[in-house]
Amino acid sequence: MPDVGRATLLVTLGLSLYATGAGAWAARAGRRRLADSAGNALLTALGTSAIAAGVLLVALVRHDFSFTYVADHTSTRLPTGYTISAFWGGQEGSLLLWLLVLSGYSAAAVLLNRRRAPDIAAWSVPVLGGVMTFFALLLVVVASPFATQAPPAEGAGLNPSLQNPYMLAHPPLLYLGYVGLTIPFAFAMGALLAKRTDERWIVATRRWTLVAWTALGIGQLLGSHWAYVEVGWGGFYAWDPVENAALMPWIAATAFLHSVMIQEKRGMLRIWNVLLVVLAFSLSLFGTFLTRSGVVNSIHSFTQSSIGPWFLGFICLVVAFSLALVFARLPLLRSRTRLESLVSREAAFLYNNLLLVAFCLTVLWGVAFPMLSELVRGESRTLGQPYYNFFLRAFGLPLLLLMGIGPLIAWRRASARALSRTFLWPAGVALATGAALVAAGAGSSMPGLVAYTFAAFVMASIVLEFVRGTRAAGSVMTLVGRNRRRYGGYVVHAAIVLLAIGVAGSAYDTTAEGRLRPGQTLETGAWTATYRSLSQERAANALELRARVDLFRDGKPAGTIFPGKNRYFAEAQTSNEMAIHTDWLRAEDVDVIADQINTDGSIYFRVVVKPLVNLIWVAGLVFLLGSLVAMWPDAREQRRLAARYALASA
């Protein structure tokens, strides 16, 4: 079995190398059959990497501890679901997942575009092949999941914090996102290499970008929820380097999805768009490097390894190659149109882009700072939460405001009279909301108050857009059907507003903590938590200690929850199992954490009341809905594009 795995990886490496070399030669010489052959190599690589993944999966499910990877990441006591999720729980498995997902994306992109845009697709094949070669090489030379050993009687098990249902979906979704950003990068580079700077590379890749962006967004939200329920500190985002690693490419892709519309509608920002694609892809590689190299201190760094220099070298190569290519093609990329007015929708998109990129680079600086300080001064210094929170407010609040302003302004230019007419209602709603919040006592946090006021403005502008649009189009279905991307985008904006409200809610968190004996209580705000008793239960892979805690709101019983700890046998580790009571009516959570369980039965508890936190998870569903609307194929547009390219090649 391990030999089959190793052989398939070797064949995958050979195929990737062939796709790179033969693909580049074919594109340069204009030889169609050789280009098809190179494309076929990528299609075949999907098959071979799928077999390699299948071999590892079978070894995991069969608890074949002769595979070092299986012994290091599973045990016979591990439930089957988590045994499967161990595939991406370790470095070698997650690199194999990268390769598998990349070969899937590459095969689909080649199949769909080799006839539609043969010149660009031909040059994209060697780029995709080059990226695949890197990952296949890592798996063959540095981090093979098929290394073997004399099988031990029992495996080491899986890190307890990874034994959570969210881990079944969170990492694969992040990988779908990270890897998916390779496709727009490969096609952008393909277009530049082919010296074709028309819009075909955008048409070929915008849906892929949306898919990758959505997967990355949902993956991050699932990760936040995992951190919230599993890590046991009651927070959902801690500006951890690995969390930031997923956030940065998502922000860059968000900027690209906005600015690409300017290129499609006005033929502007061509250089900027290519640079954004390069940035997003480089950051996705950087994200994988951060997660897998163990170079930063993070609760998510489950591995310490030697792949760091390889990744760093590859990232440098990608950045240098891309920038050199963009520089060489600058004359082809210059746009012939200019911004007509600084008060127009395209100008709002531009401001949005500048803020997003500035925020992205700020986060990048925060993540890179410990590494740079260690390199320069010999001591690692980290930038903490205040640094990130400052810039989140500095860039996030204007971005929130722009989300409301953008849809209200016309393309090209807007007069003061038209602006005052369209802004009247949203501005009125925002001011009324702000005043109501101050009256309700929400003025204790100025950033929170501003965020809620802006959120009201954005929501009002979205509602107004739908109402006015529906009046003009006749029905909401016609309205959305005729412009899925715009109205899907507005639904995504609504999701971001919900997210902002949920995040801003943390400014109003209240906490109580203390050591309790059975019968004693803790109070915070309207909530009272009474510790009743402690029990323990032996599960398949852990000893589960649970405290029974009764909750009361305004003196009335609200429910019973069971915070505690799990002591894992195989892993010899203890995890904090926070208990959450959700009040859906108020979108509020009460988190009870048993920080320290003492031998005399007393427990040091923390009770955190988190208003509006559940809107963050609701935002995930709305985000997914909006993304699906935006990426759903538009038959009219496809007919128009087909006619355009048929005419062009007639």
Query: Which residues would be at the binding site for other proteins (CB under 8 A)?
Result: 1, 3-4, 7-8, 10-11, 14-15, 18, 26-27, 30-37, 40-41, 43-44, 47-48, 51, 118-119, 122, 198-199, 264-267, 408-415, 417-418, 421-422, 465, 468-469, 471-472, 640, 644-645, 647-650
Instruction: Please give the structure tokens belonging to residue 351.
Output: 């401001």
Question: Contact, 307 vs 142, CB < 8 A?
Answer: yes
For 119: left if phi > 0, alpha if psi spans -120 to 50, otherwise beta; the answer is alpha
Q: Kindly tell me which of 468 and 517 has the beta carbon lying closer to other proteins.
A: 468
Question: Contact, 406 vs 259, CB < 8 A?
Answer: no
Q: Quote the least distance from Cβ 640 to other proteins, whole Å.
A: 7
Nearest to 193 by CA among 253, 127, 134, 132: 127
Which amino acid, one-letter code, is at 464? L
Q: Kindly tell me which of 199 and 544 has the beta carbon lying closer to other proteins.
A: 199
Instruction: Please give the structure tokens belonging to residue 237.
Output: 């985002």
Output DSSP code: residue 67. Answer: B
Q: Quote the least distance from Cβ 486 to other proteins, whole Å.
A: 10
Query: Whole-angstrom Cα distance, residue 206 to residue 263?
Result: 12
Output DSSP code: residue 232. Answer: S
Helix (H) or strand (E) holding 582: strand 579-583
Q: Quote the least distance from Cβ 410 to other proteins, whole Å.
A: 4
Query: Whole-angstrom Cα distance, residue 272 to residue 259?
Result: 8
Strands 564-568 and 579-583: unpaired
Q: Kindly tell me which of 6 and 292 has the beta carbon lying closer to other proteins.
A: 6
Reduce the DSSP state of residue 542 to 3 states and report it.
strand
Q: Quote the least distance from Cβ 15 to other proteins, whole Å.
A: 6
Q: Kindly tell me which of 6 and 170 has the beta carbon lying closer to other proteins.
A: 6
Q: Quote the least distance from Cβ 33 to other proteins, whole Å.
A: 4
Q: Kindly tell me which of 224 and 352 has the beta carbon lying closer to other proteins.
A: 352
For 239: left if phi > 0, alpha if psi spans -120 to 50, otherwise beta; the answer is left
Q: Kindly tell me which of 46 and 248 has the beta carbon lying closer to other proteins.
A: 46
Query: Whole-angstrom Cα distance, residue 412 to residue 342?
Result: 9
Q: Quote the least distance from Cβ 250 to other proteins, whole Å.
A: 28
Q: Quote the least distance from Cβ 194 to other proteins, whole Å.
A: 8
| SS3 readout for 43-55 | HHHHHHHHHHHHH
Instruction: Please give the structure tokens belonging to residue 264.
Output: 């499609």
Reduce the DSSP state of residue 86 to 3 states and report it.
helix
Query: Whole-angstrom Cα distance, residue 159 to residue 304?
Result: 14
| SS3 readout for 405-417 | HHHHCCCCCCCHH
Q: Kindly tell me which of 389 and 478 has the beta carbon lying closer to other proteins.
A: 478
Q: Quote the least distance from Cβ 51 to other proteins, whole Å.
A: 7
Q: Quote the least distance from Cβ 287 to other proteins, whole Å.
A: 31
Query: Whole-angstrom Cα distance, residue 94 to residue 92?
Result: 6
Instruction: Please give the structure tokens belonging to residue 172.
Output: 């694969």
* Residue 489 CB contacts under 8 Å (≥ 6 apart), including other chains: 626, 630
Q: Quote the least distance from Cβ 351 to other proteins, whole Å.
A: 18
Strands 579-583 and 573-577: unpaired
Reduce the DSSP state of residue 334 to 3 states and report it.
coil
Question: Contact, 71 vs 155, CB < 8 A?
Answer: yes
Q: Quote the least distance from Cβ 141 to other proteins, whole Å.
A: 18
Query: Whole-angstrom Cα distance, residue 35 to residue 23?
Result: 5
Query: Whole-angstrom Cα distance, residue 453 to residue 449?
Result: 6
Q: Quote the least distance from Cβ 41 to other proteins, whole Å.
A: 5
Q: Quote the least distance from Cβ 644 to other proteins, whole Å.
A: 4
Q: Quote the least distance from Cβ 415 to other proteins, whole Å.
A: 4
Exposure string of 434-457, with b = 16+ CB inside 10 Å and e = fewer, is beebeeeebeeeeebbbbbbbbbb
Q: Kindly tell me which of 36 and 583 has the beta carbon lying closer to other proteins.
A: 36
Q: Kindly tell me which of 376 and 646 has the beta carbon lying closer to other proteins.
A: 646
Q: Quote the least distance from Cβ 386 to other proteins, whole Å.
A: 40
Q: Quote the least distance from Cβ 332 to other proteins, whole Å.
A: 11
Q: Kindly tell me which of 440 and 650 has the beta carbon lying closer to other proteins.
A: 650
Instruction: Tally the residues of the chain.
Output: 650
Residue carrying the six token digits 């499609």: 264
Query: Whole-angstrom Cα distance, residue 158 to residue 74?
Result: 5
Residue carrying the six token digits 């859906």: 584
Q: Kindly tell me which of 471 and 517 has the beta carbon lying closer to other proteins.
A: 471
Q: Kindly tell me which of 394 and 643 has the beta carbon lying closer to other proteins.
A: 643
Instruction: Please give the structure tokens belonging to residue 520.
Output: 């004693």
Q: Kindly tell me which of 64 and 588 has the beta carbon lying closer to other proteins.
A: 64
Q: Kindly tell me which of 474 and 519 has the beta carbon lying closer to other proteins.
A: 474
Strand partners, 574: 567
Which amino acid, one-letter code, is at 316? C
Q: Kindly tell me which of 351 and 411 has the beta carbon lying closer to other proteins.
A: 411
Query: Whole-angstrom Cα distance, residue 32 to residue 119?
Result: 9
Query: Whole-angstrom Cα distance, residue 110 to residue 204?
Result: 10
Q: Kindly tell me which of 40 and 282 has the beta carbon lying closer to other proteins.
A: 40
* Residue 506 CB contacts under 8 Å (≥ 6 apart), including other chains: 235, 610, 613
